Amino acid sequence: MKRDLTQLSSKTYDVLIVGGGIYGATAAWDATLRGLSVALVEKGDFGSATSSNSLKIVHGGLRYLQNADFKRMRESIRERRIMMQIAPHLVHPLPCVMPTYGYSIKSKEAMWIAMLLNDLISFDRNRLSDPQKHLPRGKIISKQECQQIIPGVEEKKLTGGAIWYDAQMYNSERLTLSFVLSAAEAGADVANYVKVTGFLMDDYRVMGVKAKDVLTGDGLEIRAKIVLNTGGPWAEQVLESLNSRRNHRVLWSSAMNLVTRQLIPKYALGLPGKPRLKAGKGITKKSSQLYFIAPWRNYSLIGTVHAPYYGSPDEYGVTEEQIQTFIDEINAAYPAANLKREDVYFFYGGLLPMAKVNKHTGEVKLLKHYRINDHKKQDGIEGLVSVIGVKYTTARDVSEKAINLVFKKLGKEPPQSMSAMTPVYGGDIEYFEEFLTQEIRGRANEFSPEIVQHLVYNYGSKYSEILKYLKNDRKWGDRVSDRYPVIKAEILYGIKEEMAQKLTDVLLRRTELGSAGNPGNECLKVCATIMAKELGWDAIRIQRELEEAKAVYFPKS
């Protein structure tokens, strides 16, 4: 995957996708598979904004039972199964548990019905050949079993617990990147750090975009028959140059998750939040907040807390006050966690579309349904489609629908989408456990099981591509740091084959070095030294990259 801006400017594409988060990545993959000529540009790095802010759960929509929203459940269940099938190295089953209390909606009886309905609605969840991806039926457990799984769980009125199964992304950043790599391998022209600054117009028809190379400041034009805007929180900024009378404003909420020391090792724990006091009136209001504490690698991911956000997406950042407030809320919901600030190794923040704010509790109500907007109908402007997505799990399905519309706007009948049945980059693995075991045995004389497992989980069937660099120099097989199973060849591969342009690209999205916290100064220097040699950085650039990387781990002041 090479960054070639001259190529982007040299032809007219069927579709140009603006925004390289999960929605843009899956759209590029789907469109390329169906034979369209595709370009994808992203103003930062691929998947560097909201798509990287995630609890990493690929969920089947159990919570939709509360509103009997079976359609959304079926969509989520289907996409969960597809994700495990096309990205078997990156998406794996995750057992979840929730304590039951009393005789209300949180009771054993209510959760038993919920487990039964969930199993019935997800009747086809295990239509996968790999038994490692099979999700067992939900079940109710005793009070004693619940206490064993959740040490220190609140005992007042505790009656037991409910267990069900979802899926989890081992590395959500690499999953997003895998769709981009897949699209590029199939013929799409993609580039990160290209910011769209306006549209190329012919009367009321969009003919492409004006753009800027963020790394050099150079301008360029990219022509396309259709422009698909998947800019997420930046989608409105992309549309500003249309000078449309229509208000394209979407309400946004901030969403924050924490990476902490591991609290519960094997299960994701669902916990209801404690009632809150309404500011200024001292009135206790019932909270509908549900927190999740999920095991991830050797850590816990805790989330998600939402708050209304009315500023520019460029100015958004997680603050120290928000982190401390979140810690207090988690400790109130689960006192046994006893979290302290030093237990928080990293924090993720992003913006999600919001429907409204509850005026009584101040709680955010997220937008339930995605939007695919044809601007011919909205603004009288042909050649432009915008997508507003609401969650990671169903991005592929929404993108398939968006590309169907693109075909229709091109005057073509949409061919069948193949993205639900085609493995992504690294996904050519029929039986995951068998593949992993074979590779560990086969590499026993070269690498420790820990390193091989790490490589397989991140790169899947493509992991041997990393090892090609060792043929000329065995030093590329050395660890970057004793703390992590990441080898130096991964840094080189990220630069040469995965378009890593900045130190943060390597730390956060090409490897797992920095996605759970600051890997340390020595590790940062090793990575920066490799990148400097490959990309021609001088001492000033190296220092700037190091400072930018370290700043990622500090909250916004």
Q: Environment class of residue 168 by beta-carbon count within 10 Å: exposed (0-12), middle (13-18) or buried (19+)?
A: buried
Of 4-18, 182-196, 274-288, 458-472, give the lowest mean pLDDT range: 274-288
Mean pLDDT score, 364-388: 94
> Residue 127: CB partners within 8 Å, gap ≥ 6?
81
Rounded to whole angstroms, the Cα distance separating 117 from 112 reads 9
pLDDT for residue 529:
98
pLDDT for residue 455:
98
**Does the pLDDT value for residue 282 go beyond 90?**
no
- Tokens, residue 453: 């497992």
Strand extents, DSSP E, 241-298: 252-261, 268-272, 276-278, 283-285, 290-296
- Are β-strands 219-229 and 12-18 bridged in parallel, bridged antiparallel, or unpaired? parallel
Higher pLDDT, 347 or 66: 347
pLDDT for residue 272:
87
pLDDT confidence band for 433 (50 / 70 / 90): very high
Whether the Cβ atoms of residue 239 and residue 226 lie closer than 8 Å to each other: no
> Residue 310: CB partners within 8 Å, gap ≥ 6?
252
pLDDT confidence band for 243 (50 / 70 / 90): low
Side chain identity, residue 340:
K
pLDDT for residue 274:
79
pLDDT tens-digit map of 210-222: 999 999 999 999 9
Q: What value does the mean pLDDT of the chain take?
A: 94
Mean pLDDT score, 316-341: 96
pLDDT confidence band for 284 (50 / 70 / 90): very low
End-to-end CA distance of the chain: 37
pLDDT for residue 106:
85
Mean pLDDT score, 328-357: 96
pLDDT tens-digit map of 521-555: 999 999 999 999 999 999 999 999 999 999 999 99
> Residue 557: CB partners within 8 Å, gap ≥ 6?
319, 320
- Tokens, residue 503: 């130190």
pLDDT for residue 64:
93
Q: What SS3 class is residue 215?
A: coil
Whether the Cβ atoms of residue 65 and residue 77 lie closer than 8 Å to each other: no
pLDDT for residue 330:
96
- Smallest CA-to-CA distance from 523 within 467, 470, 478 is with 478
**Does the pLDDT value for residue 166 go beyond 60?**
yes
Q: What SS3 class is residue 157?
A: coil
pLDDT for residue 247:
64
Whether the Cβ atoms of residue 498 and residue 177 lie closer than 8 Å to each other: yes
- Tokens, residue 433: 């456990």
pLDDT tens-digit map of 26-68: 999 999 999 999 999 999 999 999 898 889 999 999 999 988 9
Chain centroid to CA 490: how far?
21
pLDDT for residue 244:
62
pLDDT for residue 358:
87
Whether the Cβ atoms of residue 260 and residue 298 lie closer than 8 Å to each other: no
Mean pLDDT score, 92-117: 94
Q: What SS3 class is residue 154?
A: coil
Mean pLDDT score, 507-517: 97
**Does the pLDDT value for residue 287 go beyond 80?**
no
pLDDT confidence band for 362 (50 / 70 / 90): confident
- Tokens, residue 162: 């409910």
pLDDT confidence band for 245 (50 / 70 / 90): low
The pTM (predicted TM-score) of the whole model is 0.96
Rounded to whole angstroms, the Cα distance separating 365 from 289 reads 11
11 CB-side CA count, 13 A = 11
Mean pLDDT score, 180-191: 98
Higher pLDDT, 277 or 369: 369
